[in-house]
């Protein structure tokens, strides 16, 4: 019997999502990256024990690193467990790494993790995006536009 690709009862494979990233940043471009994990981390991810809300991506020494991502320890691994907040290497092509590094060097650009998920083959992937930070007034404008669009859709649906 084949193992299902479900995480914590979800059929789409989503492990964790950084919802605040779309609010705090203007995401311009997205990219799917692989991630180097140890066995107990994969088991913990299958249980949905991950948090990328405070995480960020940093290009260092010709490599891309996921920093401050918390993958909780896996109970079954006991003494062979992993460090919950260790730096994890991201896997991207050289061309994509060069492009991301150039964009970070520009003023105000950041690489933010958006979603952590298992793809259709059961491999853990991280959706990252290049983004610029939003000011507080920009955040309020975006929320106002979203609220107005929601109200407009509701009015059109009723009428």
**Tokens 């690193």 — which residue?**
65
Q: So what's the pLDDT on residue 34?
A: 93
42-88 pLDDT, tens digit per residue, is: 888 888 888 898 898 988 888 999 999 988 888 887 788 888 888 99
The pair of three-digit structure tokens given for residue 11, joined into one six-digit string: 């059929």
Phi, psi of 63 (to 5 degrees): -135, 165
91-111 pLDDT, tens digit per residue, is: 999 999 998 888 888 767 888
Environment class of residue 56 by beta-carbon count within 10 Å: exposed (0-12), middle (13-18) or buried (19+)? middle
The pair of three-digit structure tokens given for residue 77, joined into one six-digit string: 């691994």
Q: So what's the pLDDT on residue 65?
A: 93
Domains of the chain: 14-134 (2.40.280.10)
Phi, psi of 84 (to 5 degrees): -60, -35
Q: So what's the pLDDT on residue 2?
A: 47
The secondary structure of residue 108, as a DSSP letter, is: T
Residue whose C-alpha is closest to residue 67's, from 57, 81, 77, 79: 57
- Residue 38 CB neighbours (<10 A): 17
**Could you tell me if 80 and 40 are in contact, meaning their C-beta atoms sit under 8 angstroms apart?**
yes
5-50 pLDDT, tens digit per residue, is: 445 545 578 888 888 887 788 888 899 999 998 888 888 888 888 8
Residue 1: pLDDT band by 50, 70, 90 thresholds?
A: very low
* pLDDT of 140 higher than 60: yes
Q: So what's the pLDDT on residue 141?
A: 83
């Amino acid at each position: 019997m084949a193992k299902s690709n479900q995480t914590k009862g979800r059929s789409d494979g989503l492990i964790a999502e950084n919802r605040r990233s779309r609010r705090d940043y203007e995401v311009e471009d997205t990219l799917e990256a692989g991630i180097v994990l140890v066995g107990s981390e994969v088991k913990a991810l299958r249980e949905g024990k991950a948090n990328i809300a405070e995480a960020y991506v940093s290009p260092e020494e010709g490599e891309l690193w996921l920093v401050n991502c918390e993958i909780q320890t896996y109970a079954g691994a006991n003494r062979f467990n992993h460090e919950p907040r260790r730096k994890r290497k991201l896997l991207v092509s050289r061309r994509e790494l060069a492009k991301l590094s150039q964009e970070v060097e520009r003023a105000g650009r950041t690489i933010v993790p958006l979603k952590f998920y298992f793809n259709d083959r059961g491999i853990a992937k991280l959706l990252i995006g290049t983004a610029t930070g939003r000011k507080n007034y920009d955040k309020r404008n975006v929320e106002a536009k979203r609220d107005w669009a929601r109200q407009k859709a509701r009015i059109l649906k009723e009428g």
